Structure 1
Amino acid sequence: MTVPAPTVPAMTVAAQTVPVADLIRAAAARLREAGVDTPDHDAKLLLAHAAGREPRDVDKAMLMGETWTVPDGFDAMVARRASREPLQYVTGHAPFRYLDLQVGPGVFIPRPETELVVQEGLDWLTAQHGLYSPRVVDLCAGSGAIGLAVASEVPGAQVWAVELSERTAAWTKRNLEAVARINPQVGYNYQLEIGDATSRGTLAALDGTVDLVISNPPYVPESQIPEQPEVRDHDPALALYGGSADGTLIPERIIERAFALLRPGGLFVMEHDIMQGDRLAAYAHVAGFATAVTHNDYTGRPRYLTAEKGA
């Protein structure tokens, strides 16, 4: 006999208190039944968000056997996540390095592996002694994660970001405004241009003067539609697919644009699919880069390219 998964206790007219452990257990069971990969983790984050608490408060409450009033909207949040809407869309934000970015429909959710791409660029900038106001370009800005991280973490950095979709650019602007409220200098040093990151006319005035170009372009092969509903049904297709069966068409055009933007000795860093490393490194050499190396992500898989323009 199949035993139905417990449901999240519903709110009644008189607010009720429920053991936090029971709330998490019921929500996690619902998410697990829906096929969510990390049901316990997601249930805790949703409860913390609905209650206006920190996740550590949920862990403590479970450990101490506390009871909480069921927060308004918690059941609706669990239902949205059970429908396989991304967790970050449900909560409205996503962490990225030291930033808390606003995200929702129409914007690609920043991933942890992209933090490595940023770190690679920052490490290179740090090693360039005497470079006090570096010029940095973020091609395919999306939420603004890469460019805003650079502008926040590198004092004096001048950052230009390019995003094609006006709908997505609205999220970039929201995040710029939020970061600038905390760090006003970012508001002066970050410039957003709505345009085609692969076009020779985009930021043409900067050609040959940029120190660092970073990009997380669309690179998913069109022949490999993602299985996860969170990705397939919610990430914008414009930010996902690389324009060809193997997904390398747009990344190759980004390589060409980056080469033109960079000054002699400048660095290009780009995220890519785990099967594209060798091809894109070879293409970078053909495009004129003096060096091109693929690096691994947290799981040991080839995930991003660094290429240096000859002096």
Structure 2
Amino acid sequence: MNRPATGAPDDAPEAAVPVPDVIRAAAARLADAGVDTPVHDAKLLLAHALGLELRDVDKAMLMGDAVSVPPEFDAMVSRRANREPLQHITGHAPFRYLDLEVGPGVFIPRPETELVVQEGIDWINRQGRLYSPRVVDLCAGSGAIGLAVASEVPGAEVWAVELSERTAAWTRRNLEHAARMNPQVGYNYHLELGDATSRSTLAPLDGTVDLVLSNPPYVPESEVPDQPEVRDHDPALALYGGSADGLLIPERIVRRAFALLRSGGLFVMEHDVSQGDRLAAYAQAAGFAHAVTKLDYTGRPRYLVAEKA
């Protein structure tokens, strides 16, 4: 796994260092800075600096291989020690089968949001004759939810709504990449710049949509996140729910989803762990026939599932 020296022929080659030593030293710096997963992050940063996969670094650690450490690796570790998100440093974030570009100005997709997508896809698959489902993604962000559906459900037509022009630039980048991998996505995914809570946004679709998915801003304004990666780097527009309890925007999304859906359509929305019961009750009050909150990977109430009668 030795990394060849680069530059002029008379450049002195970089000294090779055992990979376990590289990871141990970098992880110690990250741990001292309060990073939650220092070893994992150190390995990912080294893999990125070397242009390798994480599994290559894991194998090199197991075998005790040595590597010529690129100069940029130290700068990457310093940025992570300053609590810049790992995904901003590498420039991408995995989401289901997608590799999304992310950076300043866009919310980094989280693993728990994959459950929102899975709930929607499972529902589509249970419908039998729903060959070309109409799907809306409210608060699109990086495009994670809508692009996942467009990529995984053949024939699905997806409309995605994003308020921020800066964020929508990231959505378009990810759409272009997904369309290169699957040209059908480029035809079936439609990005709308606008307010996802407004009755005028996607108004021509009212009453015709099969499935509405959303990961809206929902963090209570009274509970500013402790993690610098979230507090200082995720856009405030994508974080906070517009009120002390964080429910103002999610409740408006509930109402907009109800208007968009056809009879029998489904709505799935991520929310804060403190909001499940209130949002289920609100959805029923808004007209949904059935509304329940379901659990995330850690067993916490994390997303609303509601069916329109």
Q: How does 1:104-119 map to 2 (within 5 A)?
A: 104-119=103-118
Instruction: Report the Cα offset of residue 15 of structure 1.
Output: 1.7
Look up the SS of the partner of 1:108 in the other structure: coil
Instruction: Report the Cα offset of residue 13 of structure 1.
Output: 5.9
| Structure 1 partner of 2:191 | 192
Look up the SS of the partner of 2:288 in the other structure: coil
Look up the SS of the partner of 2:112 in the other structure: helix
Letter in 1 for 2:236: A
Q: Deviations over 1:45-103 (max 9, x none)?
A: 00001100111111111111111111241111101100000001110000000000000
Q: Distance in 1 between matches of 2:66 and 2:298?
A: 39
Q: Distance in 2 between matches of 1:62 and 1:37?
A: 21
Q: Distance in 2 between matches of 1:15 and 1:187?
A: 45
CA RMSD of aligned residues (A): 0.8
Look up the SS of the partner of 2:191 in the other structure: strand
Q: Distance in 1 between matches of 2:192 and 2:28?
A: 45
Q: Deviations over 1:136-188 (max 9, x none)?
A: 00000000000000000000000000000000000000000001001000000
Q: How does 1:60-75 map to 2 (within 5 A)?
A: 60-75=59-74
Structure 1 pair 69/62, CA: closer, same or farther in 2 (3 Å)?
same
Q: Distance in 1 between matches of 2:144 and 2:186?
A: 14
1:304 aligns with 2:303: yes
Q: Deviations over 1:87-140 (max 9, x none)?
A: 011100000000000000000000010000100000000001111000000000
Q: Deviations over 1:215-242 (max 9, x none)?
A: 0000000000000000000000000000
Q: Distance in 2 between matches of 1:273 and 1:62?
A: 38
Q: Distance in 1 between matches of 2:270 and 2:262?
A: 21
Q: Distance in 2 between matches of 1:248 and 1:33?
A: 36
Letter in 2 for 1:116: L
Look up the SS of the partner of 1:225 in the other structure: coil
Structure 1 pair 72/182, CA: closer, same or farther in 2 (3 Å)?
farther
Letter in 2 for 1:279: R
Q: Distance in 1 between matches of 2:242 and 2:95?
A: 26
Q: Distance in 2 between matches of 1:154 and 1:13?
A: 53
Look up the SS of the partner of 1:40 in the other structure: helix
Q: How does 1:191-210 map to 2 (within 5 A)?
A: 191-210=190-209
1:29 aligns with 2:31: no
Q: Distance in 2 between matches of 1:129 and 1:151?
A: 18
Look up the SS of the partner of 1:74 in the other structure: helix
Q: Distance in 2 between matches of 1:172 and 1:258?
A: 21
Instruction: Report the Cα offset of residue 14 of structure 1.
Output: 3.8
| Structure 1 partner of 2:259 | 260
Q: Distance in 1 between matches of 2:306 and 2:67?
A: 53
| Structure 1 partner of 2:160 | 161
| Structure 2 partner of 1:102 | 101
Q: How does 1:122-271 map to 2 (within 5 A)?
A: 122-271=121-270
Look up the SS of the partner of 1:73 in the other structure: helix
Look up the SS of the partner of 2:264 in the other structure: strand
Q: Distance in 2 between matches of 1:226 and 1:13?
A: 47
Any runs of at least 4 consecutive aligned residues in structure 1 with deviations exceeding 3 A, and if so which?
A: none
User: Normalized against structure 1, the TM-score is what?
Assistant: 0.95
Letter in 1 for 2:272: D
Q: Distance in 2 between matches of 1:123 and 1:261?
A: 20
| Structure 2 partner of 1:295 | 294
| Structure 2 partner of 1:92 | 91
Instruction: Report the Cα offset of residue 38 of structure 1.
Output: 0.3
Q: Distance in 1 between matches of 2:102 and 2:109?
A: 9
Q: Distance in 2 between matches of 1:209 and 1:71?
A: 54
Q: Distance in 2 between matches of 1:76 and 1:100?
A: 24
Q: How does 1:35-74 map to 2 (within 5 A)?
A: 35-74=34-73
Letter in 2 for 1:149: A
Q: Deviations over 1:243-292 (max 9, x none)?
A: 00000000000000000000000000000000100110011011111110
Q: Distance in 1 between matches of 2:235 and 2:290?
A: 32
| Structure 1 partner of 2:5 | none
1:280 aligns with 2:279: yes
Instruction: Report the Cα offset of residue 16 of structure 1.
Output: 1.8
Q: Distance in 1 between matches of 2:216 and 2:139?
A: 6
| Structure 1 partner of 2:4 | none
